[in-house]
C-alpha cells in the first residue's frame, strides 16, 4: 500500500475513528455547492432592482456560476488528486467563502457576476475533492452506502432547499444574504475540516496534461455557454451554433490528446468501464430531466398560481422530504440488492411523477396535482442518486478518484444546461402554438398557453428519465458486491 498518514488515524480494526465527523464536514460543503445552483433563482428580481441589471443580463447571475463550475470540474478533480484532497478542499472552502462575501456586498452587476464566477471556480475545486474524500475514508460497504446516501440526499434535495432558503432570505432580509450566508458556513466547515478530514493524494505520476487541460476547459466552456445561448437566443442563433461546433471540435481534440499522452487529465479508462460510463451517461440524462422540472414548476407556482417567493420555495418541501426519507431506505437496500434493482425502478417512478405533473392547468390545486407528483418523483430519485454515486466510482483506482468524482458533477452540470436549453425551446414553441390555436380564450389565453408549454416540457422530461432507466438497465451489470470491489481497488 502507498505510504500515507492513514496508519496514524485508524483504529486497530483499520477504520478511521473520525470518519463520521469527516462525512459531516463534507456534507456541509456539498449542501453549500448544491444550494448555490438554485438559491439565487428567487433572488434575481430583487438583485435586478438593486443593481440595475437588465433583462438581457439577468441570466448571468446563474450562468456565471455554472459556466465556471462546469468547465473547470475535471481540472479541479485532477488538482485534488495531485496536490492533496484535504488541501484543495480547504482552499475551495476558503475561496468559496471569500467569493460569496464579495457577491453579498456587490455594488455593480459586473461585481456580482464576477463573484458568481469565482464561486464556480472554487466550487470546481471543492466538489470533486469532497466526493473523493468520502471514497477514500469509508472502507466498509454498509457504511459507504450510508455515506453515499447522505451525499445523494443532499444532491437530490439541495436544489429544493435552496429555493426555500432563497425565498426566506429574500423576503425577510435581503437578496444579498443568499450569497452572504455561505461565508460563515464555509469558514466553520474549513475549521472542522482541519481537524477531522485527513489528507490523501494520488500516487505515481503527478504531471499535468496541459494540452488536455486547455482543450477540456475550453470545450466544456463552449458547450455550457452554447447551451445557455440556445436557452436565451434559440438553437439557430449564430453564436449558439458557433459555440456548439467549437465545443465538438475541442472535445474531439481533447479525446485524441488523452489517447496519446502518458498521464492524461481524464484517463479514458475512467469512462470506458461500462458501469462508470453508464453512470455518467445516466447522470447527464437525469440532470437534463430534473433541472428543467425545478425551472418550469417554479414558474408555474409563481406566475400562474401567484405564489410568493417564500411560498414557492416551501411548495418544493415535499420533494426534499421524500428525498431524505427514501435516501435512508436506499442506503439500507443498496448493500443487499446492488445498484440496478434500485436505480431502474427509481427512474421509472420519477418519470411517472413527471408525467402526472402534465395534468396541471391554471385552475388545478397544488394539493391534488403538484404535491403527489413531487412525492412520487422524490421517492424514485432517492433510489437513483445514492447508487449512482457509488457506481460512478466503481473499481476506480486511487490515482483517478478525484477525476472520476469530477465526472459525476460534470455530467450533471452539462445535462442540466442541455435540458434547460432544449426544454425551454420546447416549452416556448408549445406555448406559442397553443396561443395561436386558442384565440377564443381572449385574455385568459396567456396563462393557459404558458401552462400548456410547461406540461409539454414535463412530458419531455419524463421521457428523458425513462431513457435514463433504459441506459442504466443495459449498462449497469454489477451486483451487491460492487461496494466491496470498489473498496479493494481504492484501498490499494
What CATH number is given to the structural domain containing 102?
1.20.1250.20
Q: Is residue 477 part of a domain?
A: yes
Quick one: 333 and 452 in the same domain?
yes
Q: Is residue 108 part of a domain?
A: yes
Quick one: 110 and 249 in the same domain?
no
Q: Please report which confidence band the pLDDT of residue 202 belongs to, taking 50, 70 and 90 as the band edges.
A: low
Return the exposure string of 449-462: e unless at least 16 CB atoms fall within 10 Å of the residue's CB, then b.
bbbbbbbbbbbbbb
Q: Is residue 1 part of a domain?
A: no
Quick one: 467 and 324 in the same domain?
yes
In this prediction the pTM is: 0.74
Quick one: 259 and 314 in the same domain?
no
Q: Domain end: 217, 249, 264, which one?
A: 264
pLDDT tens digits along 34-81 = 777 677 777 777 787 888 876 556 667 777 887 788 778 878 887 887
Quick one: 446 and 337 in the same domain?
yes
Quick one: 237 and 99 in the same domain?
no
Q: What is the pLDDT of residue 13?
A: 54
CA distance 99 to 488: 38
Q: Look at 214-228, 246-260, 305-319, 396-410 and tell me which has the smallest mean pLDDT.
A: 396-410
Q: Domain end: 199, 231, 264, which one?
A: 264
Q: Which domain holds residue 220?
A: 209-264
Q: Domain end: 264, 298, 330, which one?
A: 264
Quick one: 277 and 391 in the same domain?
yes
Quick one: 196 and 213 in the same domain?
no
Quick one: 333 and 344 in the same domain?
yes
Q: Look at 114-123, 265-274, 356-365, 370-379 and tell me which has the smallest mean pLDDT.
A: 265-274
Q: Is residue 78 part of a domain?
A: yes
Quick one: 218 and 280 in the same domain?
no
Count of domains observed in the chain: 2
Quick one: 74 and 117 in the same domain?
yes
Q: pLDDT exceeding 90 applies to what percent of the chain? A: 15
Q: What is the pLDDT of residue 11?
A: 44
Quick one: 197 and 294 in the same domain?
yes
What rounded mean pLDDT belongs to the chain?
80
Kindly tell me if the per-residue pLDDT of 480 is higher than 80.
no
Q: Is residue 269 part of a domain?
A: yes
Amino acid at each position: 500500500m502507498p505510504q500515507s498518514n492513514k496508519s496514524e488515524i485508524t483504529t486497530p480494526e483499520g477504520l478511521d475513528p473520525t470518519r463520521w465527523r469527516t462525512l459531516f464536514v463534507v456534507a456541509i460543503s456539498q449542501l453549500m455547492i448544491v444550494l448555490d445552483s438554485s438559491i439565487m433563482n428567487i433572488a434575481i428580481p430583487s438583485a435586478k432592482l438593486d443593481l440595475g441589471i437588465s433583462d438581457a443580463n439577468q441570466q448571468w447571475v446563474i450562468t456565471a456560476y455554472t459556466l465556471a463550475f462546469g468547465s473547470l470540474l475535471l481540472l479541479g478533480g485532477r488538482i485534488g488528486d495531485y496536490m492533496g484532497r484535504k488541501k484543495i478542499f480547504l482552499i475551495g472552502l476558503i475561496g468559496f467563502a471569500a467569493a460569496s462575501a464579495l457577491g453579498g456586498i456587490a455594488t455593480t452587476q459586473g461585481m456580482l457576476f464576477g463573484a458568481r464566477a469565482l464561486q464556480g471556480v472554487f466550487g470546481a475545486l471543492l466538489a470533486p475533492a469532497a466526493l473523493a474524500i468520502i471514497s477514500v475514508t469509508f472502507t466498509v460497504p454498509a457504511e459507504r452506502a450510508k455515506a453515499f446516501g447522505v451525499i445523494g440526499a443532499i444532491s437530490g434535495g439541495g436544489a429544493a432547499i435552496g429555493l426555500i432558503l432563497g425565498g426566506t432570505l429574500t423576503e425577510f432580509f435581503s437578496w444579498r444574504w443568499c450569497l452572504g450566508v455561505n461565508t460563515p458556513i464555509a469558514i466553520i466547515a474549513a475549521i472542522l475540516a482541519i481537524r477531522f478530514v485527513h489528507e490523501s493524494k494520488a500516487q505515481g505520476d503527478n504531471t499535468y496534461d496541459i494540452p488536455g487541460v486547455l482543450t477540456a476547459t475550453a470545450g466544456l466552456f463552449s458547450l455550457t455557454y452554447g447551451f445557455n445561448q440556445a436557452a436565451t437566443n434559440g438553437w439557430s442563433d449564430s453564436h449558439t451554433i458557433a459555440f456548439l461546433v467549437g465545443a465538438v471540435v475541442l472535445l474531439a481534440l481533447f479525446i485524441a490528446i488523452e489517447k496519446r499522452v502518458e498521464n492524461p487529465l481524464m484517463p479514458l479508462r475512467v469512462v470506458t468501464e461500462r458501469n462508470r460510463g453508464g453512470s455518467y451517461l445516466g447522470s447527464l440524462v437525469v440532470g437534463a430531466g430534473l433541472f428543467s422540472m425545478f425551472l418550469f414548476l417554479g414558474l408555474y407556482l409563481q406566475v400562474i398560481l401567484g405564489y410568493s417567493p417564500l411560498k414557492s420555495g416551501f411548495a418544493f418541501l415535499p420533494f426534499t422530504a421524500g428525498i431524505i426519507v427514501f435516501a435512508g431506505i436506499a442506503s439500507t437496500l443498496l448493500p443487499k440488492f446492488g445498484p440496478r434493482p434500485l436505480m431502474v425502478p427509481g427512474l421509472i417512478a420519477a418519470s411517472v411523477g413527471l408525467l402526472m405533473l402534465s395534468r396541471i392547468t391554471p385552475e388545478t390545486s397544488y394539493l391534488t396535482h403538484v404535491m403527489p407528483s413531487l412525492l412520487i418523483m422524490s421517492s424514485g430519485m432517492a433510489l437513483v442518486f445514492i447508487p449512482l454515486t457509488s457506481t460512478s466510482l466503481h473499481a476506480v483506482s486511487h490515482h483517478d478518484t478525484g477525476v472520476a468524482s469530477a465526472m459525476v458533477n460534470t455530467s450533471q452540470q452539462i445535462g442540466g444546461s442541455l435540458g434547460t436549453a432544449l426544454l425551454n425551446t420546447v416549452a416556448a414553441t408549445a406555448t406559442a402554438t397553443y396561443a395561436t390555436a386558442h384565440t377564443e380564450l381572449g385574455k385568459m389565453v396567456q396563462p393557459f398557453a404558458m401552462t400548456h408549454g410547461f406540461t409539454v416540457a414535463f412530458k419531455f422530461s419524463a421521457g428523458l428519465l425513462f431513457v435514463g432507466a433504459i441506459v442504466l438497465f443495459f449498462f449497469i451489470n454489477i451486483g451487491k458486491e460492487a461496494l466491496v470491489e470498489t473498496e479493494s481497488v481504492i484501498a490499494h
